[in-house]
């Protein structure tokens, strides 16, 4: 079991931007104290650089299990820049030691889709056309080649407000590429899919899992208001395990019957809006760990 800095309010849209983001040391301490055995990277450099990252992880007996790598796959003019940034992130993976950490590839080129969070399942017109899918698949292939050349096996993160959000878009990625799939219970729910069905249908390709719960009522409000994904985070669309609308009990029952043996990463992405939010986030992740022990035997 692992957690991630985003559960404590530290991710790409908050670090260095907002005033109430906790320091990395306090996040690592909170993750370890709550009983998790690993962490994802967060924004590159947040947990440490190539000289300090391994030391910081070892101090808390945490493994690095993955790191988010956005790439503008549908925009070839940006591939050189984005793959160079990916290579620098892989330097951090190497510095952390071992090769089990997953490069978490995600679409980073969907400014127009940010405005339409949660709508692709019902409206395919906002998706890529065939030429776009061809470019997208070529970009994913280049990223996979880089990861494997560096000794890491990548995974692809379907993510709300990107060109791979709805189940039909996930299936296109699986059809056109050989990359493993990161199944995210929360983002799949936001994208109009069912996590248990996804685990059953795509199990042979799944090599990393993010565990989230979702408030459907908040999601419906985001869609009705035509709000973007940052606003969804601010409204608290992701919630503590067992308090939302994802059928996590069914998901874990299906998982227990599967051959999956990789990391499970709890993520409860939140945007801190007051000094109190950091303490609330720490308490939430303690309760999430207890919920997993009680309901999933983990």
Q: In terms of Cα–Cα distance, which of 226, 264, 218, 209 is closest to 243?
A: 218
Helix (H) or strand (E) holding 70: strand 63-71
Total tally of structural domains belonging to the chain: 1
Q: In this structure, are residues 10 and 40 in contact, taking their beta carbons and an 8 Å threshold?
A: no
Alpha carbons 26 and 20: distance in angstroms, whole number? 13
Q: Place 113 in a pLDDT band, splitting at 50, 70 and 90.
A: confident
The CATH number of residue 170's host domain is 3.20.20.150
Average pLDDT estimate for 153-158: 98
Provide the 8-state DSSP code for 257: T
Average pLDDT estimate for 17-21: 92
Structure tokens at 195: 């996590």
pLDDT at 222 over 90: no
Alpha carbons 239 and 65: distance in angstroms, whole number? 22
pLDDT score recorded for residue 114: 80
pLDDT digits (tens, 9 = 90+) for 22-55: 999 999 999 999 999 999 999 999 999 999 999 9
pLDDT digits (tens, 9 = 90+) for 265-282: 999 998 888 889 989 999
Q: Check residues 223 and 126 and name the one with the higher pLDDT.
A: 126
Provide the 8-state DSSP code for 246: S
Distance of CA 238 to the CA centre of its chain: 12
Alpha carbons 85 and 82: distance in angstroms, whole number? 5
Residue that is written with structure tokens 């924004």 in the block: 43
Domain range holding 283? Answer: 2-296
pLDDT score recorded for residue 237: 84
pLDDT score recorded for residue 230: 76
């Amino acid at each position: 079991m692992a957690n991630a800095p985003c559960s404590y309010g530290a991710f790409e849209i908050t670090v260095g931007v907002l005033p109430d983001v906790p320091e990395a040391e306090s996040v690592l301490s909170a993750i370890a104290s709550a009983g998790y055995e690993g962490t994802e990277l967060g924004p590159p450099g947040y947990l440490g650089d190539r000289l300090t990252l391994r030391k910081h992880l070892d101090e808390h007996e945490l493994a690095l299990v993955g790191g988010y790598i956005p790439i503008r796959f549908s925009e070839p003019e940006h591939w050189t820049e984005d793959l160079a940034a990916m290579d620098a992130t892989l330097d951090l993976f190497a510095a952390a030691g071992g090769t089990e950490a997953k490069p978490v590839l995600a679409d980073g080129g969907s400014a127009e889709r940010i405005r339409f969070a949660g709508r692709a399942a019902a409206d395919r017109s906002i998706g890529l056309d065939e030429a776009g899918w061809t470019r997208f698949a070529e970009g994913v292939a280049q990223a996979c080649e880089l990861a494997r050349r560096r000794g890491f096996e990548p995974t692809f993160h379907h993510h709300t407000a990107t060109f791979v959000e709805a189940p039909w878009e996930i299936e296109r990625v699986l059809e056109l590429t050989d990359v493993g799939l990161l199944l995210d219970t929360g983002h799949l729910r936001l994208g109009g899919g069912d996590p248990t069905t996804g685990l059953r249908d795509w199990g042979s390709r799944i090599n990393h899992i993010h565990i989230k719960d979702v408030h459907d009522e908040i999601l419906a409000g985001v869609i009705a208001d035509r709000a973007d994904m940052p606003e969804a985070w601010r409204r608290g669309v992701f919630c503590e395990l067992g308090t939302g609308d994802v059928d996590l009990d069914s998901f874990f029952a299906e998982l227990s019957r599967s051959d999956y043996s990789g990391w499970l990463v709890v993520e409860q992405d939140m945007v801190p809006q007051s000094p109190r939010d950091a303490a609330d986030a720490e308490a939430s992740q303690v309760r999430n760990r207890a919920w997993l022990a009680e309901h999933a035997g983990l």
